[in-house]
Amino acid sequence: MANASVDQMVSAAPRHNLLGMTEPQLAAFVVALGEKPFRARQLIKWIHQRGVSDFAAMTDISKVFRERLAEVAVIEAPELVHEHRSADGTRKWALRMAGGSLVETVLIPEGARGTLCVSSQVGCSLDCSFCSTGKQGFARDLTAAEIVGQLWVVNRSLGAFDDTRKRLVTNVVMMGMGEPLLNFDNVVAAAQLMMEDNAYGISKRRVTLSTSGVVPNLERLAGAVDVSLAISLHAPNDALRDQLVPINRKYPIAELLRATRGYMASLPDRKRVVTIEYTLIREVNDLDEHARELAELLRDLPCKINLIPFNPFPQSSYQRPEARRVERFQRRLQEAGYIVTVRTTRGDDIDAACGQLVGRVIDRTRRNERYRTQLAQKDSIITRVS
């Protein structure tokens, strides 16, 4: 949609989904229909602040224009299939996207803060060895409407459109299913909508994009949108990261950190720092030597480090480190002068913890089939040996 002309948008079938259009895109759309640009501001408020999907209910827009909109456009969010609630207050929604795949999004409440973990792809085209999502394979990128639609559906589910006191989503992290920077245009448009004053008005400090290291698109990000940045690092050297995060073989750590410094330098807010995400895996990347190497690697990068104890899943042989090992690793980094937090596992009882989102992916890569075959072979060997 971003590359289509306005004439194509207006005349082509099927009807255009306004849910994923930014205010400038909506302005171009309504002008092409013969209306004034200010109609875009009215539309975006109806859609994203009031949660209205029926043009007939938009009472400050003329009846003629509402009828015209109903002919050429829709406001269509992903279909809510089911919702799960964890004992710790975490909530997970499964949403059906076009084509039938299910995508999961998670809300993590913590005091006055509510962080929504949003997905950007159906499955994931990367295959990080410690992440359950990647084992599901990959179907396609989500559209801007499907990405911001997760926030829209959650707000509706929580009753936030009817009562501002129920607006529990204060932060959005693009850390769900998929690699955001491999779906660049749609992720940027969705992030812009989340921060748009006439839409959700979330602060740029509270919209975070997490990437495993798609360096060319990280370099593009500086001129496209101002969001907070998180880097999924998970290893202090290339040899280990090649095993854990395969994209490192294409864009090694030095290139990733160079692009990261460039993005952070482009931000007008010099007080912001990048978040380094580091999943701790028992006896893989959690040793003292790894902590020392990580401290040295990041010495020139303004950052904070978020340690994530590995969350086990059936298709992985990795193990979660003991609590004392996590504390020791954290202490080593703190002694080196870093701000270090340990991510508390939330929603584990509903498979909503970090790295556990799976949904239902119509896998065009056949990766899930291969993993299941490998597991079956391993189980067979274990059975014969025992």
pLDDT of residue 364: 53
Q: So what's the pLDDT on residue 385?
A: 40
Q: What is the mean pLDDT of residues 145-155?
A: 97
163 pLDDT band, cuts 50/70/90, is confident
Domains in the chain with CATH codes: 6-74 (1.10.150.530), 79-371 (3.20.20.70)
pLDDT at 88: 86
In this structure, of 45-59, 138-152, 220-234, 312-326, the range with the lowest mean pLDDT score is 312-326
Task: Give pLDDT, residue 57.
Answer: 97
Q: What is the pLDDT of residues 285-296, one digit of tens each?
A: 999 999 999 999
Share of the chain above pLDDT 70, in %: 85
What phi-psi label fits residue 242: left (phi over 0), alpha (psi between -120 and 50 degrees) or beta?
alpha
Over residues 230-250, the mean pLDDT reads 97
Contacts of 228 (CB under 8 A, 6+ apart): 204, 205, 206, 207, 208, 209, 272, 275
Average confidence (pLDDT) over 180-200: 97
Q: Would the pLDDT of 382 be above 50? A: no
Hey, what are 25's tokens?
Answer: 């895109």
Please list, in sequence order, all residues whose beta carbon lies within 8 angstroms of the beta carbon of residue 142, skipping any fewer than 6 positions away. 97, 103, 119, 120, 121, 122, 178, 183, 186
Neighbours of 36 (CB within 10 A): 11
Just list the catalytic residues.
104, 354
pLDDT digit string, tens, across residues 33-54: 999 999 999 999 999 999 999 9
pLDDT of residue 384: 40
pLDDT on residue 182 = 97
End-to-end CA distance of the chain: 57
Res. 344 pLDDT band, cuts 50 70 90: confident
Is pLDDT of 381 > 90? Answer: no
DSSP H or E run through 109: strand 102-110
Q: How confident is the model at residue 127 (pLDDT cuts 50, 70, 90)?
A: confident
- Bridge partners of 79? 96
Average pLDDT of the chain? Answer: 88
